[in-house]
Structure 1
Amino acid sequence: MTQPDFSQRLHGIIPPVVTPLKPDFTVDESALRRVIRHLLDSGVHGLFLLGSTSEVVFMDAPARREVLRIAVDEVAGRVPLLAGVIDPTTDRVIAHARDALAAGVDGLVVTAPFYTRTSQAEIAEHFRAIRVAVDLPIMAYDIPVCVNVKLERSTLKQLRREGLIEGLKDSSGDDTNFRLLARECAEDPDFRLFTGSELMVDTAFLVGAHGCVPGLGNVDPAAYVALYDAAMREDWTEARRLQERLIRVFNIVFQGTPRTSAGASGVGGFKTALKLLGIIEHHHMHRPNLPLNDEETVRVAEILRAEGLLPAQERKLVPGV
């Protein structure tokens, strides 16, 4: 896929795909294929593999390659595939990027380096080195809560001027900065802006976003696709109605706290919901993160049932999930 084709195809709802695990903590291929089919059948416009929701930082290179192999085979070119190549150092990221290129994905998703502190100049050099080493389009990923440094607007615009990035996935939570970036990039329509927020999607589309990368999209992808469709026809009343419902569904991410960390509760909520929906068999998390327990699972089921995602008649829950 050429870079112009990449930009034109990159829009809409691109969920960050969860990584189902077997009890031995290896990738569950059959479950991952069911998750991907669930997303494609709901009309999503692309898939983001090996991101935060995928628990990528817990995965070694062979496990990452396995996820990519499965996804590329299952998708078979139907939608664009983005691969997160997330690691603390430039050379490790390049190694993951070469694996992603060999697997056959369409583009890369790259954060700033992390653990060691880096300047904006060093971040720019990080992106340059990756782009030179691997001939795939890059989406920048701004997630300061995880990498402890923000991709500043000036840095992003510099990377764009140099032809190093095709767009941004913004998970910074800084909606003011996102709006300013959209305004400043309005004359560059091929620069693709995606929000990583599940809760401000209607607003993001209103100010110029091209798409959304919602973790909750694993659970209810059809609702996010409907929200996108409403925004594209400028039916903001319907977009807001759908957003308000998704905010209620989003409460599944809080059911594991304070027993688990916020991140584990969030991804754990998605996995628990997928298990309740019959899409995955196990909702294990990568260690040391803990899965939701029986009591927390019941609360997730109640939220799904209230929003019509589970039948009104209570489904029997399996003890010890």
Structure 2
Amino acid sequence: MTLPAPLTGVVPPVCTPLTPDNEVDTASLTRLVDHLVSAGVDALFVLGSSSEAAYLPDRHRRTVVETVVGHVGGQLPVLAGAIDMTTLRVNDHVDAVTAAGADAVVVTAPFYTRTHPAEITRHFRAVAAHSPVPVFAYDQPASVPLKLTPDVVTELAEDGVIAGLKDSSGDEGAFRACLMGTRALPGFSVLTGSELTVDSALAMGAHGVVPGLGNVDPEGYVRLYRYAKAGDWERALAEQERLCTLFGMVEVGDPARMGRSSSALGAFKAALQLRGVIDCAATMLPQVPLSAPEVERVGKYLAGAGLL
């Protein structure tokens, strides 16, 4: 389907349900899509960080996009990550996800290699020239060891290279600078990837949110977005603070035996299983699974938020 310009609203980065033997659980994936669509989200983003894209082999990535695009059937736009270390590898992913029906691609700066801002802009220009669909830049310095500067984002936006920005940097000053630098571009979309500061991002002029926690509670983020757009900041604040409390589930994992990714993604999947959306809470190797007591703590967060 045609991607709206700008893209606005709630765009959850869809988790990838897995079977116990590390295959994509397509039945659970379609239930998860139904869970999100019925909540009123505005688009879907597959193969991002919350989708475990970095852990998925190419055949899993292809299965995810084909399953989601086929199930959505044009009801909502589907954005797909085309994330890899260098330009030609990204272009291969662009070919694969667009052949499967993705409406836009989401691309980080190159990583592993040490890049200069001139090489970053060259990378995005080459990908955009190759891609048959709009390209969104993904600023994720926790995983890509550099930050997309507001100057780079603004230059690429002004030149029509990128259609939008998904900002997961946590740098609110730079986020505001990106909003200010692109405000005169009516079709450009700036989306926050922070679950915890959506109300303030929308107050600054952000077009929407890409919340990993939105897999668990999409209705909450839809309410938050609608309250903010209606100018009902008191209700927006209350909804945001409820979601901030719920987000505490990402800390249930013991840091002595697992990393933050295992804890956060494991919590999201455990919550989805407890809510009856997916069959199995497995995360992809080499992530460490949550223990039974940790899963029980996830359940307490859900109960506290009125989700069980």
What is the TM-score with the length of structure 2 in the denominator?
Answer: 0.98
Q: Distance in 2 between matches of 1:92 and 1:286?
A: 22
Native 8 Å contact 1:6 1:137 kept in 2: no
State whether structure 2 residue 133 is matched by structure 1 residue 136.
Answer: yes
Q: Which amino acid aligns with 1:278?
A: G
SS at 2:288 equivalent? coil
State whether structure 2 residue 19 is matched by structure 1 residue 28.
Answer: no
Q: Distance in 1 between matches of 2:168 and 2:208?
A: 13
* 1:129 to partner: Cα distance: 1.1
- CA offsets, 1:175-201, max 9 Å, x none? 111112212222223210000000000
Q: Which of 298, 302, 305 is the aligned partner of 2:303? A: 305
State whether structure 2 residue 37 is matched by structure 1 residue 40.
Answer: yes
SS at 1:243 equivalent? helix
Q: Distance in 1 between matches of 2:108 and 2:155?
A: 15
The number of aligned residues is: 307
Q: Which amino acid aligns with 2:43?
A: G
Q: Which amino acid aligns with 1:105?
A: A
Q: Which amino acid aligns with 1:136?
A: V
- CA offsets, 1:239-282, max 9 Å, x none? 00000000010011100131310111111110000010011111
1:319 corresponds in structure 2 to none
1:316 corresponds in structure 2 to none
Which runs of structure 2 are paired with 1:1-321 in the superposition (5 Å)?
1=1, 5-8=3-6, 10-258=7-255, 259-310=257-308
Q: Distance in 2 between matches of 1:230 and 1:112?
A: 34
Native 8 Å contact 1:284 1:290 kept in 2: no
SS at 1:250 equivalent? helix
Question: What is the CA RMSD across the aligned residues, in angstroms?
Answer: 1.0
Native 8 Å contact 1:82 1:108 kept in 2: yes
Identity %, equivalent residues: 47
Q: Distance in 2 between matches of 1:160 and 1:147?
A: 20
* 1:171 to partner: Cα distance: 0.1
SS at 1:144 equivalent? coil
Native 8 Å contact 2:158 2:185 kept in 1: no
What is the TM-score with the length of structure 1 in the denominator?
Answer: 0.94
* 1:34 to partner: Cα distance: 0.6
* 1:7 to partner: Cα distance: 1.3
* 1:31 to partner: Cα distance: 0.5
* 1:132 to partner: Cα distance: 1.3
Moved more, 279-288 or 175-184: 175-184
Q: Which amino acid aligns with 1:108?
A: V
Q: Distance in 1 between matches of 2:183 and 2:91?
A: 31
* 1:161 to partner: Cα distance: 2.1
* 1:303 to partner: Cα distance: 1.0
Q: Distance in 2 between matches of 1:307 and 1:150?
A: 34
Native 8 Å contact 2:158 2:182 kept in 1: no
Native 8 Å contact 1:34 1:279 kept in 2: yes
Q: Distance in 2 between matches of 1:299 and 1:63?
A: 30
Native 8 Å contact 1:6 1:106 kept in 2: no
Gap regions ≥5 residues in structure 1: 311-321
Q: Distance in 1 between matches of 2:289 and 2:278?
A: 14
* 1:89 to partner: Cα distance: 1.2
Q: Distance in 1 between matches of 2:48 and 2:182?
A: 25
SS at 1:132 equivalent? helix
SS at 1:146 equivalent? coil
Q: Which amino acid aligns with 2:21?
A: D
Q: Distance in 2 between matches of 1:69 and 1:22?
A: 18
